[in-house]
Amino acid sequence: MIETDRLTLRRFRDEDRDTVARWNADPEFTRYLAGVQTRAQSDAAFERWQRHWDEHRFGLLAVEWRSSGELIGRAGPQYHRMWADDPEVGWALDPAWWGRGIATEAGGALVAWSFGELGFERVVSITTEPNLASRNVMAKLGFTLHVRIPSEWGILWVHALDRGIEQHAGAARAGRAGPGNVARGEPR
């Protein structure tokens, strides 16, 4: 489990499937993702997330609002099928929670975890050009545009962040991550 000032990041549980399916059926939530999904497609994605954990010992995490325990999104490092070289730190939040700095807070904690305990030298964050909100979060965390690649969703903008004392410290501050308020260890 990873904790920040306002969030708990934990492994997904089977009881989260209904919430994930609701998000994946919402055109607003999926606007910059893979598009609206049926329940079967959502469950298949959920299973892929779990397999990623089994294979790599890290992956997408459920994002909970600490004070209520409400499931409000997903975030985490995982290998993206369009970019296998480095793990992608990504996020997707319930639209009711947009605009509160949550993606920046979760992203900062996940960058710190990726460079710290997971030991990666580089992480990426991927989006499309129209997704200005995510591109702004990436900039706040220290990511810079690395390359643009074609995909079935259009041109993907791959932003990279390399391990570095200044960059890591900035990302940790952005996510309010650090000793005392981030519990290290395998998220459960």
Look at residue 182 and tell me if it is in a domain: no
pLDDT at 43 over 50: yes
Look at residue 42 and tell me if it is in a domain: yes
How far from 58 is each of 81, 100, 129, CA to CA, in Å? 16, 26, 27
Look at residue 170 and tell me if it is in a domain: yes
Q: Please write the tens of the pLDDT for every residue from 71-101.
A: 999 999 999 988 888 999 999 999 999 999 9
pLDDT at 175 over 70: no
The CATH number linked to 71 is 3.40.630.30
Look at residue 142 and tell me if it is in a domain: yes
Lowest mean pLDDT among 2-11, 23-32, 44-53: 23-32
pLDDT value of position 170: 54
pTM to 2 decimals?
A: 0.85
Number of compact structural domains in the chain: 1
Look at residue 186 and tell me if it is in a domain: no
pLDDT at 30 over 90: no
Q: Please write the tens of the pLDDT for every residue from 116-160.
A: 999 999 999 999 999 999 999 999 999 999 999 998 888 999 999
Give the whole-angstrom CA distance, residue 71 versus residue 20. Answer: 9
The CA-based angle 44-33-137, given to 5 degrees, is 130
Q: Please give the structure tokens belonging to residue 46.
A: 């959920």
Look at residue 185 and tell me if it is in a domain: no
What share of the chain in percent tops pLDDT 90? 74
Average pLDDT over the chain, rounded to whole? 88
pLDDT at 60 over 80: yes
How far from 46 is each of 39, 50, 119, CA to CA, in Å? 10, 6, 25
The answer to whether 118 touches 184, Cβ cutoff 8 Å, is no
List strand residue ranges (DSSP E) for the chain, in order: 2-3, 7-10, 61-65, 71-80, 83-93, 122-128, 144-151, 154-162
Backbone angle region of 87, left / alpha / beta, with phi > 0 → left and psi within -120 to 50 → alpha: beta
pLDDT value of position 159: 96
Look at residue 179 and tell me if it is in a domain: no
Query: The domain containing residue 114 runs over which residues?
Result: 2-174
What share of the chain in percent tops pLDDT 70? 87
Q: Please give the structure tokens belonging to residue 135.
A: 């591109």
Look at residue 117 and tell me if it is in a domain: yes
